[in-house]
Structure 1
Amino acid sequence: MMTQAKSKTEEASHVTEELANLMHKMGLPDVSSTRMRDYLIRLMHCYMLGYAVDFSIIYAIMASQSGETASDRRAGYLACTLFLAHDHELGIMLINTLQRDLKSQNYLDRCSALNAICYLEHTEIVDSLLALVVACMEFPKQVVRKKAIMALYFLFERSNIPIDQLEPPLRLSLEDKDSSVVFASLSIWKLILVDHGERCKDLLPTFFAIHRKIIENRIHKSFIYHGVYAPWAQMDCLSIYNIFLDLNIGSPKEIYIMIMECLESMEKKVDAAFAVVLECVKLLSVMDPTLLACFSNEPDKNPFEVLVNYLNASNLNLKYLGLVGMMYVDHSFWKDDWLDGTLIAGTLRTCDDTITAQAIQNLDTIIDHKILVHISQDLIEALKSSENQTLAYWLLNRIMEHDTDREAWFIETVIEILAVTAKRLDDDYVETQCSVLKEALLGEVQDTKLRECSVNIIYKLIKSNNSNTFSPLWVQFAFWTLGENGYLSNLYSEIDIMKQLEKCLMIIKDDDLQTCGLQAIKRCILRSKTWLSGLEKILKEYKRSPVPEKQQIARELLEIISDVEFEKQLQETDYTLSTAITANPNKPTTINHFSKNGTGRSTSLSNVQQHIPFIQETINNSAQLNNSSKKHMYDSNLSLGSHHASDTEMTTKEFGKLWVEYKIEEKRVFECSVHDCSKLAKRLSKSWQIDVIQVIGQEFIAIETSSAALLIHVAMLPQNLFQLTLKTESNPDQIHSFLTTRQLQ
C-alpha cells in the first residue's frame, strides 16, 4: 500500500512539473478549450494532494472568462474557488467575469457565478456584486433564485453588510411562488434569526403558514420523501420555533398547537418522520412543564405519549429513538414504568452497544437504591443474554455507590453479577469486588444473615452452572465462603455443600483453585465429622500431584478421614444395570420415576440408567430420624415377624399379595460398604427406621416402621451396590416422603 501511494505521489509531482512547463511554453490561442479543461482538472487533483499550483491561477481565471462552453467555464470557476479561496490578490481579476455572468440570460452562467461567490473571499466582491446577486432573486428560473439566496447569506457572513440590505429580498423569498425557493429560504432564516430574531418577530405567523401548508399536503408531490412531505423544511420550521421560544417571542400555546399538529401528521410514517418526531419532542421539552400541562385539551393526556410506541418497538433504531427522546423529557412527564426503571431495563436485553449506552445514560438520571433493587434482576438477565461489559461495570459501580449498608441484597446481587459475567471482566476489578464482599462478610459479628445468604446464592449458582465458566477469582471467593460459612445455611447441609465442591474439583483444571476447593472441603469435614466416599479417589489422585500445596492438603485429608471419628457418607455415582437381579415373578415391566412434586413418568426398564443417591452408613447427629427405635438382630434365615417391633404385623404371604396389588413403584441404586445382606439389613433397619420381614440370600423385604403402606425390597448387586425398590398403593408422595426424610433424594 505504501509503495502504491508513493508511486502515485511521484506521478502527481511529475504531472505538475510537466503541466507547468507546457503552460508556460504554450499560447492560449493554440490550446483548445477542451484541452485546457483537462489540464485544469488534473491541476485540481494535484492541488488536493497538497502540491503548489499557483502558476495555474491565471489559466483558471482565463478559462472562466473565455471558455467556449458552459462546461468549460464551470471548470474554470471550480478551479478558481479552490485556488483563490483565501483572498488571493488575483481574485480581483475574476470580478469582471462574475459581473458578466450574473447579468447573463443563460441560467447556467448565473448558477456558475453564484456558486463561485459562495466560496470566494475578496474585500471588493461585496461592493461589486451585491446588487447583481439581489437582482438574481427575480430571475425566472427557480434554481437561480435558490442559489441567489445562498450567495446573499455568504456575502452577509463574510462582510459587514447591514441586515437592512438583506432583509427585504429574504422576506420576499418566503412568499416565492416556488416551494423549493421558500424551503431554501427557511434554511437561511434559521441561521439569521439566531442573532436577529427580535427584529423579525412578525415573521412567526409566516413560518406557521408555511409549515401548515406542508403538513396539510398542499405542496407538490415531488417533495415527498418516503411518504413525508418536505421533511427537511419541517425540521427547519421546528428549529425556527425553538429560536423564538428561546427569545420568548410569540405565544407558547400557538407553538404547542403547531407542534402537536406536526406530530399527528407523522403518525405511522417512517424514515425522515422519525427525525421530525424527535425534533418535536425536543421542542416540547424546552417549554415550561406547567404551561405544557395546561395546553392539552385533555388534562390527563401526556404530550410525550408518542414515545411509548418507540420504546416498546422491536426495531432497535426505533427503540433508540425512544430512549433519546426520553432524555429531553422533564421527569414530571415520565410514566410510572419509566420512573421505576422497568421499561429502560427491558431495553437492555437487546445485544446492542448503542442502545445499552443510551439506556445507561437514561438510568443515571433517576437511579437510586430503591430503583436498583427493583431492576437488578432484569439487568442480571440482560447480562446473561449478552456479553456487554459496559452494563456489568455500570451496574456493579452503581451498587457500590448506592448501597453503602452492605445488606443481604448487596451480597447476593454482587455475587450473582460476578458469576454471570463469567470471565469477561478485568481480573483486577473482579478481585476488588471480591475483596469488598469478603470484608463485608468478615465484618458481620453480631448476626449471620449476610454469611448465610452468601452461602445459599453461591451454592445455587454452582449447582446450576458449570464451574469452569466462572471467573477463577470468583471461584476462589466461592470456595472460601462455602468452607468458612457453609454450616450457617438453613437450606443446604454440609453434605450438600461437599457434593458441589467435589463436583467443582472434577471440572476445574487450575491447581490453585483445586487446592482452595480441598481446603473448603477440609473445613466442612472437620465441622460435620463426615466425608463423602467419592472424595477418597480424588485425594489419591491429588496425592501424586507435582504441586506441593495440593499434594500436602490431599495427604492431610487422607489422614483425617482415616480416623474412625469421621463417618463415611456413601457417594452418589452413575451405574448402569448390567447384571441380572433375582427374578421376581410379580415385577412390573415398567418403572415409575417420581419427581419431588409427585408426578411420574414411565420408562422401559431395559433403557433405564439408574442415578444412585447417597445414604449414610451410620446414624449421625444431624439425622432427623427417631433414634429410640428397638434394635433388631437377624440371621440369614430370619423368620417372618419373629423380630418385628412395629405396630403392624405382616407375614411374607401378606407382603407378596400386597406387592402384586400395589401399582406405584420406584427403584434406586446405592453404594454400600458391606457385602453381606444380613449386615446391610441390620444397619438399614436402624438408620432407616424400617422393620425387616425376612432375609433370603442376598435380598430382604421390609416395611416402614410407622406404616405398612410402603413396601420395601432390597437386593445386593455387584461392585458394592444394592438396589432399593419401593412400592405403594396409590400415593407417590409416600415414596417421596420416605426418601426425603432419610436424605436419599
Structure 2
Amino acid sequence: MFGCDASFAYIHAINSINCGNVVCKGVGYLTCALCLPSESPLLILLVANLQKDLQSTNYLEVSSALTALSKLVNIGFLHAFSDQIIKLLSHGVEIIRKKAIIVLNRFMKLNPSLIQDFSNHFRRTLCDIYDTVMAVTLNSFAQILSDENQLPIYKDLISSFVVILKQIIDHRHHRHFDYHRMHRPWLQTKLLEILGILGENDKRASEQMYEILSEVMRRADDTGVNAGYAIVYQCLKTITKIYPNQTIIENAAHLVSRLLTAEKKNLKHTGITGLISIVKINPIYAIKHQLVVVDCLEDSDDTLKRKTLTLLYKMTNTTNVTVIIDKFTGIIKSASFDIHFKQEIDGKITELAEKFAPDSKWYIQTMNTMFEVASELIKPNIVNGLIKLIEEWREDDDIIEFTVTEYSKILQMNENIPDCPMQVAPWVIGEFSEYLQSESIGSIMDLLCKSLFKSFDDPTTKGWIFTALQKISKGVPSDQCRDLISRFSTSRNEDLQQRCYELAGTCTKLPIQLNFKRNFNIITNFKFLESYEQ
C-alpha cells in the first residue's frame, strides 16, 4: 500500500482462510504471513484454523498453513503446535516434511530449550530418502551447533556428514542440483561449515575429515569455475579451523598460490583471504608468496589493497620486515592512495618496526623516514612512544650517540622540518646535549632559535623547542635566547608564554655552568618539616 495503513484489510485475509477453495485459502495464509506482525492480537483468530489445516488430508492446505506458521508463530503459541509439527515429520509428501523442519527451526530460535526435544527428530530426518529434507535438516544442525555446549553431543554425527559430502562429490544426487558443473555447491558449503565447527580443537574428530576435505578441495579446483573456487575457499576456512594437519595445509597453500596469480580480482581477493587464514596457523606458508602479495598493493581495487595490507601485517617477521616496511613507505609517498588508507599503513609501520626491528639504529632511521614522508599522518602517541623508547636506551652510549647525531643532521640539513621530527629532535638534543661536540652546540642552538620563527601545524611544537633551549643552556642562556624569551613571553600561545616565563626564571648570570651530577653534598634531612610531613 506504499506506506499507507492496510490494517483494515487484515480481517478479510483471515476470513479467506475459512474458505473451502484451496487457492483462496493459500492467498489468505500468504497475506497474513506477509502483513500480520508476530505479536498481533488478530493471531488468536488464526490458531483454530491453523490447527485444523495442519491435520488436513490435502497436502496443499497443510503446506500453506506451515508457510504461514513459520512467519507468524510467537513464543506464546509454541506448545499449541509442537506436537502437530512433529507428527508432520512423518508425512508422506516430501515438501511437508521439509516445511515442518523449517517450522521447528523457527521454534528453536524462539525457545532454545526445545533443542533437546527436537534432537532425535532431526537425527532421523538427516537420513530421509529425499535430498531436500536432508538438506534443510543440515540448517537445523548448523543452528544447534552455534551453541558450544551442544558440540560434544553431536560429535558422533561427523561420520554421517562425511558420508553425505562423499555422496555429493560423487554425484549420487539428482543432476538438477548441479550449478555450473558443480554439484550442490551450497550444500557442500554448509557441510564444510558444520565439519569445521565439530573439528575445532579436536584431533580425533578432525582426523575423520582430512581425507574428504582433500578430495573435496581437489575436485572443486579441477572445475575451474567460480562455484568451485567458492568451495575451495570454504575448504580453506574449515582446514584452518579444525585441528591442523601439515599435509592438507600444504595442499591448501598450493591452491591459494593459483588464486593469487589469477587475473580475476575476485579470485585474487579469495586467495588473499584464504592465505590470511593459513598464516594464522603458520606464517611460513606465506613466505614464498610474499612478492606476489606485495604486488597486490598496487592493484586499483581498494578492497583488495586493504586485504593485502592485513595479510602483509600478519606475515611480517624479522626476516622480511625491511622489505615490507619499504613497500609500505612507498605507498605512503604515492599520491594514488587516500589519506585514510595511508593512516592505516602508518599505524602498521609503527607497530611492525617496533616489534620486528633488526636493531635500534634501523628503527630510528625507519621512524625518521616515516616522519619525513607522512608527518601529517602521525598521531601524538607515536611520537610519545618513540621518545619513551629512546629514554629506555639512556644507558647505551652507542645508541644514544647515534640518535643524537641523526637528529642533529635533520636539524642541519633540512629547512622545512615537519612537526613530528621537530618535536623529537629538540627533545633528544636537549636531553643528551653532552653527546654533542662543543663547537656544534652553538650552531644547534641557532637552528633551534630560528625554528621558533617558522610556522607549524601543531602549536605545541615551539614549546618543545623552548624546552630544549632551556636544557641546553643549563640556566645560562645566550643573548639570542634572552631576546627570544622577551619576544615570545607575550605570545598568544599560552603554552609558549608559560615556557618563556619558566625559562626566564631559570636564567642566572653565573660565569660558569652548574653541574649537579657529581654534587654529593646535598642536604636531604630537614627535621623542621617532620611535623608538616606527618
Query: Helix, strand or coil: the match of 2:171?
Result: coil
Query: Would you say 1:389 and 2:364 are equivalent positions?
Result: no
Partner of 2:503: none
1:240–1:99 distance in 2 versus 1, CA, 3 Å: same
Partner of 2:277: 328
- CA-CA distance at 1:182 after TM superposition: 2.5
Partner of 2:510: none
Query: Would you say 1:253 and 2:202 are equivalent positions?
Result: no
For 2:287 and 2:23, locate their aligned partners in 1 and report how far apart those are by CA, in whole Å: 61
Give the number of equivalent residue pairs. Answer: 441
8 Å CA contact retained: 1:396, 1:414: yes
2:38 pairs, out of 85, 98, 102, with 85
1:284 pairs, out of 219, 232, 239, with 239
- CA-CA distance at 1:371 after TM superposition: 4.7
- CA-CA distance at 1:351 after TM superposition: 6.0
Query: Would you say 1:233 and 2:187 are equivalent positions?
Result: yes
For 2:424 and 2:241, locate their aligned partners in 1 and report how far apart those are by CA, in whole Å: 51
- CA-CA distance at 1:118 after TM superposition: 1.4
- CA-CA distance at 1:262 after TM superposition: 1.1
What one-letter code is carried by the residue in structure 2 that aligns with 1:150? I
Give the 5 Å matches for 1:147-158.
147-155=99-107, 158=110
- CA-CA distance at 1:377 after TM superposition: 1.6
Give the 5 Å matches for 1:21-32.
none
- CA-CA distance at 1:97 after TM superposition: 1.6
Give the 5 Å matches for 1:711-726.
none
What one-letter code is carried by the residue in structure 2 that aligns with 1:410? Y
1:449–1:200 distance in 2 versus 1, CA, 3 Å: closer
1:410 pairs, out of 359, 363, 372, with 363
Query: Helix, strand or coil: the match of 1:217?
Result: coil
Partner of 2:287: 338
Alignment deviations for residues 8-56 of structure 1 (CA, whole Å, 9 cap, x no partner):
9xx96xx65xxxxxxxxxxxxxxxxxxxxxxxxx23xxxxxxxxx8xx7
1:377 pairs, out of 326, 339, 361, with 326
Query: Would you say 1:187 and 2:139 are equivalent positions?
Result: yes
- CA-CA distance at 1:443 after TM superposition: 10
Query: Helix, strand or coil: the match of 2:120?
Result: helix
Query: Helix, strand or coil: the match of 1:395?
Result: helix
Query: Helix, strand or coil: the match of 1:237?
Result: helix
Partner of 1:581: none
8 Å CA contact retained: 1:302, 1:333: no
Partner of 2:172: 218
- CA-CA distance at 1:239 after TM superposition: 2.5
- CA-CA distance at 1:186 after TM superposition: 1.8
- CA-CA distance at 1:213 after TM superposition: 2.3
8 Å CA contact retained: 2:378, 2:420: no
8 Å CA contact retained: 2:197, 2:242: no
For 2:19 and 2:178, locate their aligned partners in 1 and report how far apart those are by CA, in whole Å: 41
For 1:121 and 1:440, locate their aligned partners in 2 and report how far apart those are by CA, in whole Å: 63
- CA-CA distance at 1:105 after TM superposition: 5.4
- CA-CA distance at 1:113 after TM superposition: 0.7
- The sequence identity of aligned pairs, in percent, is 21
Query: Helix, strand or coil: the match of 2:271?
Result: helix
For 1:431 and 1:288, locate their aligned partners in 2 and report how far apart those are by CA, in whole Å: 42
8 Å CA contact retained: 2:16, 2:24: no
1:420 pairs, out of 345, 368, 373, with 373
1:454–1:312 distance in 2 versus 1, CA, 3 Å: farther
- CA-CA distance at 1:392 after TM superposition: 1.2
1:131 pairs, out of 73, 76, 84, with 84
8 Å CA contact retained: 2:296, 2:304: yes
1:454–1:221 distance in 2 versus 1, CA, 3 Å: farther
1:305 pairs, out of 224, 238, 254, with 254
8 Å CA contact retained: 2:125, 2:134: no
For 1:128 and 1:437, locate their aligned partners in 2 and report how far apart those are by CA, in whole Å: 68
1:381–1:312 distance in 2 versus 1, CA, 3 Å: farther
- CA-CA distance at 1:306 after TM superposition: 2.3
8 Å CA contact retained: 2:138, 2:191: yes
Query: Helix, strand or coil: the match of 1:150?
Result: helix
What one-letter code is carried by the residue in structure 2 that aligns with 1:228? M
What one-letter code is carried by the residue in structure 2 that aligns with 1:256? Y
- CA-CA distance at 1:395 after TM superposition: 0.8
- CA-CA distance at 1:276 after TM superposition: 2.7
Alignment deviations for residues 69-91 of structure 1 (CA, whole Å, 9 cap, x no partner):
625643455436754623x6654
Name the Cα RMSD after superposition. Answer: 5.4
For 2:202 and 2:425, locate their aligned partners in 1 and report how far apart those are by CA, in whole Å: 62
For 1:342 and 1:227, locate their aligned partners in 2 and report how far apart those are by CA, in whole Å: 34
- CA-CA distance at 1:187 after TM superposition: 1.5
Partner of 2:46: 94
Partner of 1:668: none
Alignment deviations for residues 357-391 of structure 1 (CA, whole Å, 9 cap, x no partner):
54555556565655534532222223234352210
1:410–1:335 distance in 2 versus 1, CA, 3 Å: closer
Give the 5 Å matches for 1:543-622.
none
What one-letter code is carried by the residue in structure 2 that aligns with 1:145? R
2:14 pairs, out of 58, 61, 64, with 61
Partner of 2:127: 174
8 Å CA contact retained: 1:201, 1:250: no
For 1:285 and 1:453, locate their aligned partners in 2 and report how far apart those are by CA, in whole Å: 46
Alignment deviations for residues 89-138 of structure 1 (CA, whole Å, 9 cap, x no partner):
65443233223433445554332211122131265554556336633653
1:479–1:348 distance in 2 versus 1, CA, 3 Å: farther
Partner of 2:530: none
Query: Helix, strand or coil: the match of 1:66?
Result: coil
1:336–1:253 distance in 2 versus 1, CA, 3 Å: closer
Query: Helix, strand or coil: the match of 1:252?
Result: helix
8 Å CA contact retained: 1:201, 1:249: no
For 1:138 and 1:308, locate their aligned partners in 2 and report how far apart those are by CA, in whole Å: 49
Partner of 2:64: 112
- CA-CA distance at 1:214 after TM superposition: 1.9
Query: Helix, strand or coil: the match of 1:219?
Result: coil
- CA-CA distance at 1:188 after TM superposition: 1.8
Q: Select the structure of larger CA radius of gyration.
A: 1
8 Å CA contact retained: 2:253, 2:285: no
- CA-CA distance at 1:479 after TM superposition: 12
Query: Which protein is richer in helix relative to its size?
Result: 2
- CA-CA distance at 1:424 after TM superposition: 4.6
8 Å CA contact retained: 1:384, 1:420: yes
Alignment deviations for residues 222-259 of structure 1 (CA, whole Å, 9 cap, x no partner):
32334432222112211232343259597533310011
Query: Helix, strand or coil: the match of 2:18?
Result: helix
Query: Which protein is richer in strand relative to its size?
Result: 1
8 Å CA contact retained: 2:98, 2:133: yes
Partner of 1:667: none
* TM-score when normalising by structure 2: 0.63
1:471–1:272 distance in 2 versus 1, CA, 3 Å: farther
8 Å CA contact retained: 1:311, 1:323: yes
- CA-CA distance at 1:301 after TM superposition: 4.9
* TM-score when normalising by structure 1: 0.47
